Amino acid sequence: MTDARTAILGRLRAGGGEGPLPPLDTAVMERRQWDPAERVGRLRRGMEAVHTEFLDATPSDWPAVVRAFCDREALPNLLFGPTSEAGAALTAAWPTGGTQLLPYDRPVEAFKEELFTTVAAGFTGTVGGVAETGGLLLMPGPAEPRLLSLVPPIHLALLRASTLQDSLWHAVKALGWGRSLPPNALLISGPSKTADIEQTLAYGVHGPKRLIVVLVDDLA
């Protein structure tokens, strides 16, 4: 389709607009700022408004908080990335019996059916959160595959309060996303939802039906 390319770019150049680029006044983005404790409150309110659930934890007890949730919900299994830092911590602290830890350690093709049918929940870390609107920032990859946070009906996400950013605008800068990005990065603000039937909100349409944030208070 080289011809199409040449023709299209040719037409655009011929019809092209010369002239100065209008200036960008980003003050409206810049001024969305809060102090660290306020950020936590905002994120929580924003995400709870769209049915996200929160579990409070400390830097040392979060694996136990995850485990207690799994026990309470009687989850048969929990899919996780064994080589991530959080994954390693989870493995180390996981008592035998009860909810089984399933490592996502092979290509999806080897267990796609199982992933869609028998996995009860997925656990991931996050690389930050967005205070302004509420939202988690994830960078899936080799250690935490993309489908961990999408296919299982429950998504548990570990969020450290110290990693909260003011807004997506600030996060893009702070995380260096503007320069280079991994093959996938995303923001998640709640469980999957739709309002396509009569504007009535329904949760769990395609992705997770529940999003559980394990919020680690590490601000002190």
- 202 is an interface residue for another protein by CB under 8 A: yes
- 29 is an interface residue for another protein by CB under 8 A: yes
CB of 71 to another protein, least distance (A): 26
Largest CA distance in the chain: 70
Q: Are 159 and 187 in contact (CB under 8 A)?
A: no
Nearer to another protein, 96 or 117 (CB): 117
CB of 193 to another protein, least distance (A): 5
Distance of alpha carbon 153 from alpha carbon 193, whole angstroms: 13
The residues, any chain, with a CB within 8 Å of residue 45's CB and separated by 6 or more, are 134
Binders in 126-145 for another protein, by CB under 8 A: 130, 132-135, 140-142, 145
Distance of alpha carbon 117 from alpha carbon 120, whole angstroms: 8
Nearer to another protein, 71 or 114 (CB): 114
CB of 218 to another protein, least distance (A): 24
Number of residues that bind another protein (CB under 8 A): 81
Distance of alpha carbon 109 from alpha carbon 83, whole angstroms: 19
Binders in 143-182 for another protein, by CB under 8 A: 145-147, 150-151, 167-169, 172-173, 177-182
- 4 is an interface residue for another protein by CB under 8 A: yes
Taking contact as CB under 8 A, which single stretch among the options 66-74, 90-98, 99-107, 156-164 is the one that binds another protein?
Answer: 99-107
Distance of alpha carbon 78 from alpha carbon 194, whole angstroms: 26
Taking contact as CB under 8 A, which single stretch among the options 58-66, 94-102, 120-128, 204-212 is the one that binds another protein?
Answer: 204-212
- Block residue for tokens 């093709």: 109
- 45 is an interface residue for another protein by CB under 8 A: no
- Taking alpha carbons only, the member of 218, 213, 209, 216 closest to residue 54 is 213
Taking contact as CB under 8 A, which single stretch among the options 13-21, 55-63, 92-100, 121-129 is the one that binds another protein?
Answer: 13-21
| CA gyration radius, the chain | 21
- 97 is an interface residue for another protein by CB under 8 A: no
- Block residue for tokens 């011809």: 3
Binders in 53-92 for another protein, by CB under 8 A: none
Distance of alpha carbon 153 from alpha carbon 120, whole angstroms: 6
